Amino acid sequence: MLGISKNKISENVSFEDFKSLGMTIPKDESRKRIQILLWTLIGMFLFLFLPWTQNISTKGFVTALRPDQRPQTVHSIIAGRIEKWYVAEGDYVKKGDTVLWISEIKDDYFDPKLLERTQMQVDAKTLSAKSYSEKVRSLEIQIQALKENNVLRKEQAENRLRMAELNVISDSIRFEQSKVNFKVGTEQLKRTDKLYQEGLRSLTDFEQRELRFQEVQAGLVAAENNLLKSKNALIAAQIELNAIDNDFRDKMAKASADMYEAMSSQFDAEGTATKLENQYANYEVRTGYRHVLAPQDGYITEAIQVGIGETIKEGAEIISILPGNAQLAVEMFVDPVDFPLLRLGNKVRFIFDGWPAIVFSGWPQITNGTFGGVVKAIDNFAGPDGKYRVLVVEDLEEKPWPTQLRIGSGADGIALLNDVPLWYEIWRQLNGFPADYYTAREKAENRKSK
């Protein structure tokens, strides 16, 4: 059996009666083996020249292209107590539909007439500010009247001062005239006395002259007295003129102080009224937050807060909503070594969870059951896991994505790069060289040339 002996059993035994054993006897075995090996080598050599599409395989999941179309949670803006639910999980809601109603749990907002009473406070402060405004206007009118009255009083006082000055001048002239008369009367009295002593005049004439001299002397005193009165009147007129200015400044200072005090009270009342109006608006808006509304059209996916009578905090998550008209995209993650190979517009093939596919990554032409995509956005920074995020949208040039596809489904992505011979890809893999990537413009040029 091992071929050690030179004695052959075939010479002594006929194998014609043993068909199974006869089939194992080699007949021209060497030639067949050479032919099989030759055709195998030729086939492998030709196989090396088949085109191979370089690719990057990665995993991802279905998401929405726009951030506002991705699943979101609805939060409670105010703290409250759940009173009534209007929806259930799986319901479709439109934007503005009431999801649930909550009541207040803070004692600052328990008053059922809170808005009405706050409005009354606003009205009271508004009227108070208006009264102060009217007082300011009255004081402004009073100040204007004081200014006009001061002008008239000053004009009157100046006229009196001028009259006093003229009286002083007039009395001064009369006083000078009286002094001249007194001097002349003195000389005449002396001459009359001398003539009387000489006997040239009678005693009667001398007595008459003496009486006239007394009248002249009395006139001098009266003129001097009138002059002093005129000077006193002049001084009084000057004092009165100065007193008018002082009195005007005092009254103006008091009126201005009252006006500024009224203005301060007015501004304070207006500020308080504005604060109360702001508080009223806050109360009114807060009242609207007691009804939690759907922010957009979509499906209720999960109720995070459940039950009736459960209290929730400000900003607490209540429900989760899945938008119903989201534009789907695939969010996949690539390693940093593959990141430079990707460009906007690159073609990507996807295998979605639940849709069977026969995949040949290097020959996308014979791949069956995959769906096409186009790179829409590429992040410029790595995530916490050290990979870069890539958003891929549906390729409008190929068959549409399944209508049953939902956000969160898994997807295996195959980013297609350059077309190279199979021998080159094997040589590149053995040497660890990077793939030959292309731009969208180069791809379009290649298609035109083909």
Q: Taking the domains of the chain in order of start, what are their residue ranges?
A: 50-68+326-449, 71-97+294-323, 114-288
Paired strand residues for 93: 298
Give Cβ neighbours of residue 430 (< 8 Å, ≥ 6 apart).
Answer: none
1 band by pLDDT with thresholds 50, 70 and 90: very low
Q: What is the pLDDT of residues 225-244, one digit of tens each?
A: 888 888 888 888 888 888 88
Whole-structure pTM over 0.95, yes or no?
Answer: no
pLDDT (average), residues 79-103: 88
- More confident: 222 or 447: 222
The owner of tokens 């190279």 is 420
pLDDT average, residue stretch 263-289 = 88
Q: Is the pLDDT of residue 155 over 80?
A: yes
Q: What is the pLDDT of residue 14?
A: 61
How would CATH label the architecture of 71-97+294-323? Beta Barrel (2.40)
Q: How confident is the model at residue 442 (pLDDT cuts 50, 70, 90)?
A: very low
The fold of the 114-288 domain, in CATH, is Helix Hairpins (1.10.287)
Q: Is the predicted pLDDT of residue 437 greater than 50, yes or no?
A: no
Mean pLDDT of all residues in 419-447:
57
Q: How do residues 338-362 score in pLDDT, each as one tens digit?
A: 777 777 887 888 878 767 655 545 5
pLDDT of the residue at 450:
47
Task: Give the number of other Cβ atoms within 10 Å of residue 269's Cβ.
Answer: 20
Judge whether 81 and 307 are in contact, CB under 8 Å: no
Q: What is the 3-state secondary structure (H, E, C) of the chain?
A: CCCCCCCCHHHCCCCCCCHHHHCCCCCCHHHHHHHHHHHHHHHHHHHCCCEEEEEEEEEEEEEECCHHHCCEEEECCCCEEEEEECCCCCCEECCCCEEEEEEECCHHHCCCCHHHHHHHHHHHHHHHHHHHHHHHHHHHHHHHHHHHHHHHHHHHHHHHHHHHHHHHHHHHHHHHHHHHHHHHHHHHHHHHHHHHHHCCCCHHHHHHHHHHHHHHHHHHHHHHHHHHHHHHHHHHHHHHHHHHHHHHHHHHHHHHHHHHHHHHHHHHHHHHHHHHHHHHHHHHHHHHCCEEECCCCEEEEEECCCCCCCEECCCCEEEEEEECCCCEEEEEEECCCCHHHCCCCCEEEEEECCCCCECCCCCHHHCECCEEEEEEEECCCCCCCCCEEEEEEECCCCCCCCCCCCCCCEEEEEEEEEEEEHHHHHHHHHHCCCCCCCCHHHHHHHHHHC
Reported as a pLDDT band with limits 50, 70 and 90, residue 76 is: confident
| Most confident residue range from 76-80, 107-111, 378-382 | 76-80
Question: For the structural domain made of 50-68+326-449, what CATH number should be given?
Answer: 2.40.30.170
pLDDT band at 323 (very low <50, low <70, confident <90, very high): confident
